[in-house]
Amino acid sequence: MGKKDGKVSVQGPFRRINIYVAIFLITFLLILSYISNPYDQILGNEIIDNEADKTTGEPGNYNILFAITSTVGAIRQRRLLREALFGIKNNLEPCMFQDGNVYYKFLIEPYKSVERGKLRDFTAEVVEYDDIKEFPNLSDQKFQENILQWAQDLGANKDINYNYLVIINDKALVNLKKLQQVLEESINGNVLTQTQKRRLVWGSFMTEDADDMAIILGRDAIAPILNSKNSIKIVNSNFTNPITRAFQYYQEYPNEADLYLVNDEIGIVEFPNAVENVSIEKTIAVGRVYLEDDMRDLVEHLSIPKTLICHPRNDPSKLNIAIITSSFVYDNLCMLPAARITGDNKRGYAQRNGYSFVGRSAEFTQQVSKKRKTVWGKFDAIEKVLPHYDWVFWLDMDTVIMNYNVTVEGLFEKFAEIVGGWEEFEKKHLIVARPVHDVMINAGVFMMRNSQWSRDFLRIAQNRRDLYLGHMYEQHAMWDLIREPDWAPGTLWLDQDDRTFNTFPSRYIHGDFVVHYAPDGCPAKPIIDAIGKMKLLEINPDMKITLDHKMDH
């Protein structure tokens, strides 16, 4: 049928051709995985609406696969969209596995180079939020095709199941609740059959440069578009996106399509520079919003509810534990190749054992304003995270968890035996080790209880201004405190201990928990090597390995 009231609907068969699938090669990047844990459900005083966010069945089943295209340097835009759409204001209580009705990812456009500072900040963001997917920088593969291939592969590999793929860019807003209601009820007054929903291609496809603001595809529409991208005629050479070209072609040749096409210039609109000009009743998505203030005003104007992507899980019988580390990469970028992989090593441990994983960089960045060495950011980060958990387990970035089978709860049982029972262990608030031959404790690995004792301890240690710029910094402050009569009883000090945690590479033996690459140079290469060996041990636990300690200088 022809165009009417801003929409076109046609149906017919697609032809199939081969497509070259690019394999994304990034050195040192691990595969990301997830388990359950809650995000904050409140943003300011606004309670997140979760009526439309109930799971569609078993974990891994979603109504919407939500892809937000972005550029490597658009960190502020991603932060704004996390908060505006999902209520994610920070990562203090991270979502370890998305189990809501919407599964989202930021998809980063291919890039050849990036400024050093942005690359460092982007790396920290990847570690902290675990919601970013990068694509290969290949000249013969278009970005939108990569997105379609990625979405198709997720379904084909049974990674996740979904009904619709929704694509927007980071300059667009979409009301996910309203979108799902429209999909369930009718589009522009037309009630769709289940077959039409599966074959849906919906967007604003007739205005140049506006065809990537928001696109909604039924799950069965993806493969036909990919398979026919080289066989269709180009109706308008000014449009380059394969989805738009498919739409325009099958609008002209309706008998060849097996899709349900909807051109929508009413519900999907370009921002008209004033929020008052955006229809509250009709608008589903707004694109080309370039100012942050406009984006925030639109969220309020359209009353866009926050979509719950993780359901809270509160088990009163289980301790709430966070694995916390630095995601901050120093200016020399020494640890840049290893930052993501060591973050994933710790995230994987948390996922395996039901803990939260929290990477923090902001507290390290702010140390220049406090006029002290960057490493003091560790205390700031712990003070920020500690109130959200029963215990936090701090691990420096240059540590590697070699044995996922060692649990924090298991260690607590061991510690209770050491101190004479659980009643005595309840009096312990800091657990730290002094390795063999070390003159003081090693603050690269320690555990801390959420208690007034711990808060007071950190506050006093933070006031050691004489150590801000030298003399082992925060480690020396801890060492001095735990030997004082007021603080020694609350500390479980594992003296001359290389086995419980904080093992060094040269002292590693099979079964050790954590290996600390305390650097005399750059530890990136040996850390990557150690994590590779750790993954081999996961496959073959009896494998014999050694951990070389060869640093770059």
What is the spatial distance between Cα 217 and Cα 165, in angstroms, rounded to a whole number? Answer: 5
Phi, psi for residue 200 in degrees, rounded to 5: -70, 135
Tell me, what's the pLDDT at 158? 80
Could you tell me what percent of the chain has a pLDDT over 90? Answer: 74
Mean pLDDT of 506-528: 92
What is the spatial distance between Cα 280 and Cα 501, in angstroms, rounded to a whole number? Answer: 57
What is the spatial distance between Cα 23 and Cα 127, in angstroms, rounded to a whole number? Answer: 22
Q: Considering only 26-35, 207-216, 249-258, 277-286, which range has the smallest mean pLDDT?
A: 26-35
pLDDT category of residue 36 using cuts at 50, 70 and 90: very low
* Average pLDDT across the chain, whole number: 87
Q: Which helix (H) or strand (E) holds 360?
A: strand 356-360
* Residue 205, CA distances (Å) to 83, 123, 179, 539 in order: 29, 35, 18, 49
Tell me, what's the pLDDT at 138? 65
Strands of the sheet containing 430-434, edge to edge, are 356-360, 321-326, 391-395, 445-449, 430-434, 491-495
Mean pLDDT of 477-496: 96
Give the ranges where 354-430 is alpha helix by DSSP (H).
Answer: 362-365, 367-370, 377-385, 408-419, 422-425
CA dihedral (365, 456, 346, 499) positive or negative:
positive
* CATH for the stretch 321-539: 3.90.550.10
Contacts of 484 (CB under 8 A, 6+ apart): none
Mean pLDDT of 159-187: 95
Could you tell me what percent of the chain has a pLDDT over 70? Answer: 88
* CATH for the stretch 61-302: 3.90.550
Mean pLDDT of 233-243: 89
Do domains 61-302 and 321-539 share one topology? The answer is yes
Domain extents in the chain: 61-302, 321-539
Q: Considering only 18-32, 75-89, 376-390, 477-491, which range has the smallest mean pLDDT?
A: 18-32
Contacts of 148 (CB under 8 A, 6+ apart): 165, 222, 225, 226, 242, 243
* Residue 119, CA distances (Å) to 74, 106, 298, 341, 362 in order: 11, 16, 30, 15, 15
Tell me, what's the pLDDT at 526? 94
Tell me, what's the pLDDT at 59? 55
Rounded to the nearest 10 degrees, how much is the dihedral formed by the CA atoms of 128, 133, 139, 143?
Answer: -130
C-alpha closest to that of 408 among 352, 365, 457, 358:
352
In the block, residue with structure tokens 């349900």: 260
First to last CA, the chain: 69
Instruction: Kindly report, residue by residue over 275-330, the tens digit of the pLDDT.
Output: 999 999 999 999 999 999 999 999 999 999 999 999 887 788 899 999 999 999 99
* Residue 269, CA distances (Å) to 19, 30, 82, 104, 207 in order: 32, 38, 21, 22, 10
Give one DSSP letter per residue of 107-137, joined into a string.
EEPP-S---HHHHHHHHHHHHHH--EEE---
Tell me, what's the pLDDT at 139? 60
Taking a C-beta distance cutoff of 8 angstroms, is the pair 386, 392 a contact? yes
What is the spatial distance between Cα 274 and Cα 284, in angstroms, rounded to a whole number? Answer: 16
Tell me, what's the pLDDT at 141? 64
Query: Is the pLDDT score of 500 beyond 80?
Result: yes
